[in-house]
Amino acid sequence: MGNMWEEHRFILGFISILFAGIRVNSLSYDYSASIECLAEPLKPQYGGGILRNPEFKHGLKGWTGFGGALAESNGGNTFMVVRSGNRPTKKLFLFDDKIYTFSAWVRISDGSARVGAVFKTADGDMHAGATIAEAGCWSMIKGGLTVTKTGPAELFFQSKNASVDIWVDSISLQPFTQEEWRSHQEQSTQKARKRSIRFHAVDSHGRSLPGRNLSIVLNRGSFPFGCAINRNILQNSGYQQWFTSRRFTVTVFEDELKWYSTERNQGQEDYSGSDALFAFARQHGLAVRGHNVFWDDGRYQPGWVGNLSPDQLRSATNRRIDSVVSRYAGQVTGWDVVNENLHFNFFESKLGGGFSTDAYRKAHSLDGRATMFLNEYNTLEDSRDGAVTPSEYIRKVNEIRGQGSTGIGLEGHFSRVNLGYMRSAIDQLASTGLPIWITELDVDRGIDQAQALEQILREAYSHPAVQGVVIWAAWKPEGCYKMCLTDNNFRNLATGNVVDRLINEWGRRKLQGTTDGDGYFEAVLPHGDYQVTIFDSAKNSSFAQATKVEADAEGEDSVLHLKVHARED
């Protein structure tokens, strides 16, 4: 290859415009969700979808059973009142090949209580969604469901507080086909993860250079995607080769950073395992999530912690947070400060309800550049778990978000796939404006792991609010936690093939082409860092330039001009 500066002075005009979206013939998905308690309910999404009389303008027409009564607000709005201890229902027919998105606005007669929407089906009750309802204002339930069998169903609303009346309005149930759902993903992916680019090759006089070959190589994708590791990778070349060849950009340590690993005996800290894994991550350009400072489940504490008095425990927790956060400050993208503190309250029960808030404040003071995550399971995975509904998660995150940069960590340990509920949960959490990560993604052995993993990964990647995904599949010879990506010879399992296929789909490694008659070349590229090379075969020369493809800061169409000058020798 000749001198890259030889003969011509190239100017590469890089023009980037936001991809305008692909045309779809199906009904668009409504990503909006309200997390405010409003004086009056908003209009039903999709005009109510397949539900007739969604705003009760025709009384209780379409509802059966006892306990329903029609009331009217001062503003003239009509709604249904579900009297305490009664359960009016809406009869429906649901199809097993559809994905349903659901929404409703609810209010209660007194106090505050969790209110849920439930569909009674032949396979049992399906919980579509829930919210924390208040007296005096309206809250939105947003959720979704799929059914395993086509057949009749009945919709009803319930609360564990049987003493309150539930007010209901603006109900919507909208079905989507699998093809429509996938079109939403594709459209959102194009808008959130990619940009349309237009290259213009010209010489030093501004004249276009038609018919020039070029290559566009992705050096590093912008979307953080990775997998957990453990100390097994340190001495296993097969594991290392498999992991580092996947183009992962982020990792998390399975156990090596947890308190029970770094201080097995009181006062005897041992960071050798985590230090070695941090060194491995640095060597291979991997960002690291800090998992975790504390775990609020009493089962997962160092053995000596259970014997401490409250004062001794407080001193021990202060030493722990000072030690681990200070040691790795600046080396992690975020910390799971008090893991799973919606499900559990080990530290709060011993040290008071303000423990989590204090821990987040202290962690932020020690590592101000890292995002401090609330990290929980079942917010995406299981609509039945009332402890961690999106509204409960938001309530908890609002308690700690004033303590510094705060993030939403969603573990994602799936035993079944409910994409309608998963998407709606992210919609609600996105309304906080906080960064959202899927932090520990895996799938139970009881279902088709590869198929489910692909469905979940596509849903997560396509949602504009998700800012990173980490798979929980650190390899161990005795077997992974729930899901492995390889066998013990590091040959891909079906799940590993899914990961490889999506990495290649989301971050096409190399693109080659030729400028047109006017010197232009167009493509749609994922956000990331690229090297663009223009070739002049006649002169046996080339010119390479690093460039970045990123989302428009304003989220609108824009043109970015980038001129690169190549001089003659």
Q: So which residues are the catalytic ones?
A: 440
Closest C-alpha to 402, from 358, 369, 367: 358
Closest C-alpha to 199, from 470, 23, 12: 12
Q: Please give the Cα distance from 425 to 404 (Å, whole number).
A: 24
Structure tokens at 130: 């829930």
Residue labelled with tokens 């936690």? 481
Q: Please give the Cα distance from 335 to 360 (Å, whole number).
A: 9
Q: Please give the Cα distance from 38 to 35 (Å, whole number).
A: 9
Q: Please give the Cα distance from 486 to 482 (Å, whole number).
A: 13
Q: Please give the Cα distance from 119 to 531 (Å, whole number).
A: 53
Q: Are 221 and 507 in contact (CB under 8 A)?
A: yes
Q: Please give the Cα distance from 420 to 90 (Å, whole number).
A: 20
Rounded to the nearest angstrom, the gap between the alpha carbon of residue 401 and the centroid of all alpha carbons in its chain is 18
Residue 17: beta bridge partners? Answer: 196
* Number of C-beta neighbours around residue 532 at 10 A: 22
Residue labelled with tokens 């057949």? 151
3-state helix, strand, coil in the chain (%, to 5): 25, 35, 40
Q: Please give the Cα distance from 114 to 283 (Å, whole number).
A: 48
Residue labelled with tokens 């600046």? 330
Helix, coil or strand: residue 240: helix
Residue 159: beta bridge partners? Answer: 115
Q: Is the backbone of residue 236 left (phi > 0), alpha (psi -120 to 50) or beta? A: beta
Q: Strand runs (DSSP E) across 399-444, as ranges?
A: 406-410, 413-414, 436-443
How far are the Cα atoms of 94, 198, 366 from residue 567, in angstroms, in the given order? 67, 23, 48
Residue labelled with tokens 């999530």? 289
Using alpha carbons only, how large is the chain's radius of gyration in Å? Answer: 27
